[in-house]
Amino acid sequence: MKKLIAVDIDGTLLNSKREITEKTKKALIKAQELGHIVVIASGRDPFGVYPFADILEFKKFGGLLSNFNGGRITNYKTGEVIINHTLDLNLAKEILQFSEKNLDMHYIIYSDDGVLTSSEDTYTLKEICEKAFTHYEVIDDLAYSLDFAPNKIMFSYYPDLIDDQSKILKEKFFDKTAQVKSTPRFYEIMPKGIDKGKSLKEIAGFFGMTMDDVIAFGDEENDLTMIEMAGSGVVMGNGTDFMKSKADFITKSNDEDGIAYYLEKFVFNTNN
């Protein structure tokens, strides 16, 4: 039976050296050869996912990109954007203006051309661009001059201080947005109701599949909805204790080819 296989990137698809191992690569290509649909499910923008899609031969098999935690779904082979969710432009500007007046942490917004930010001092700005394989542009009045509806706003701050700052955003805008702490230093705001779980449900529906046909691999809090909603929610051995408590199965770590281990044990055997 055909499966929809969703993989998070950092801590899941990539090992601790930020590489896709040969064993994991071969397993995911084999899955596509067997007729399964592979989705890279990430909070990243499309630029930050393209290199991994190429490694996994998505252009050959029609693999999917789920970017911005489910905000935009793209068929990598055809370039077609299947699903796209954005923040209301006025709401996005309201959030940015509020943050500049009330918070110490800075933000970035992804455009089709790269990363936009209002400050050169944005925490880990250059690292963010390096991971996204893109560049950044500083626009001083971005909170007021933004002229497109973004898929998400990402705040970046020191791990020991971000919780207190993000709490202010949550209290102010939680009823209008979806919010998640995606890593110890990133806090993301997306359209209301958008998350990785809903993304997989939309994709499954698009292909006439159900959530019982979905296998999701993740390790962090922003993977929670897809782990809970998938027919098989698989958490990596390096995942957080909280995430492991929500898993249907705990596989080996990202440094031990946990994705390949699960596929070989539970998916490929059923095709032989």
The catalytic site residues sit at 8
For 41, the 3-state DSSP assignment is strand
Dist CA 194 CA 41 (whole Å): 13
Q: b/e for 228-250, b at 16 or more Cβ within 10 A?
A: ebbbbbbbbebbbeebeebbeeb
Residue 207: φ, ψ to 5°: -100, 10
Coarse DSSP helix, strand, coil percentages of the chain, rounded to the nearest 5 percent: 45, 25, 35
Q: Is residue 111 within 8 Å of residue 142, measured between CB atoms? A: no
Dist CA 26 CA 260 (whole Å): 8
Lookup result for tokens 């432009």? 89
The count of other CB atoms within 10 Å of the CB of residue 144 is 12
How far from 85 is each of 79, 114, 116, 206, 223, CA to CA, in Å?
17, 18, 19, 15, 18
Q: Which amino acid is residue 263, in one-letter code?
A: L
Q: Is residue 15 within 8 Å of residue 255, measured between CB atoms? A: yes
Dist CA 65 CA 50 (whole Å): 9
